[in-house]
Amino acid sequence: MKKLLVPVTMLGVVFLAGCMHQAANQENNDAMMSGDDTMMSGNLEANMSGEMMMEDDKMMEKEDDAMMKEDDSMMKEEGDDDKMMMESEMKYEAYNEAKVKEALTAGKKVALFFHASWCPSCRKLDKQLKSTMEAIPTNAVVFKVDYDSSTELKSQYGVTTQHTIVTIDKEMNMIDKKVGADLEAVVGMLQ
């Protein structure tokens, strides 16, 4: 029986050693799998983060597109307002030297409104002049002068800031100048 016991015991030892080896391999595999899961989880998080960044970029592009459309719309509206302004009774229109001389020759009182599109108070007065042209005397015209590009006119009339109103006589000499005038003040200058 001793002879039989040794081989069986050896077999048990070999079996146990194999089981232990298999268990160790399983632990290694589990650890590797866990690492893979962590790596996969990290990659998933990176992927999700990248996707979120791409979604943010898309959202920002949409916002930029919307802002550009709004700017285009505002520019069209402003252009439409200028067109409407010129088609009306010609009491308020974009500056044109020939038209200024024509108005002066016709005996009309002329005011030059040095306007900047970036100036909030200029935009306010511009809107008031467009919406209440009937407030402008019938024998008067207000010409909207681009403050940013009319260097020569600014120099001629000593205009140093936007939202300046200058009234001129038949020889195009300055009669009066007011900075920051409201609609009532402009009307007063033209009476």
- The domain limits of the chain are 17-57, 83-189
d(CA 100, CA 94): 10
- Match 């999700």 to its residue by tokens: 48
What share of the chain in percent tops pLDDT 70?
Answer: 53
Q: How many CB atoms lie within 10 A of CB 74?
A: 11
Whether the pLDDT of residue 83 is over 90: the answer is no
Helical H runs in 88-182? 97-105, 120-131, 151-157
| Contact between 133 and 89 (Cβ < 8 Å) | yes
Q: Supply 99's token pair.
A: 């038209």
Confidence grade of residue 50 (pLDDT, cut at 50, 70, 90)? low
User: H-helix or E-strand containing 78?
Assistant: helix 2-87
SS3 of residue 189 by DSSP: helix
What pLDDT was estimated at residue 181? Answer: 95
What whole-number distance in Å separates Cα of residue 32 and Cα of residue 138? Answer: 90
Pairing of strands 140-146, 164-168: unpaired
Distance CA(5)–CA(18), nearest Å, equals: 19
Q: State the average pLDDT over residues 129-143.
A: 93
Q: Which residue has the higher pLDDT, 58 or 180?
A: 180
**pLDDT surpassing 80 at residue 78:** no
CATH number of 83-189: 3.40.30.10
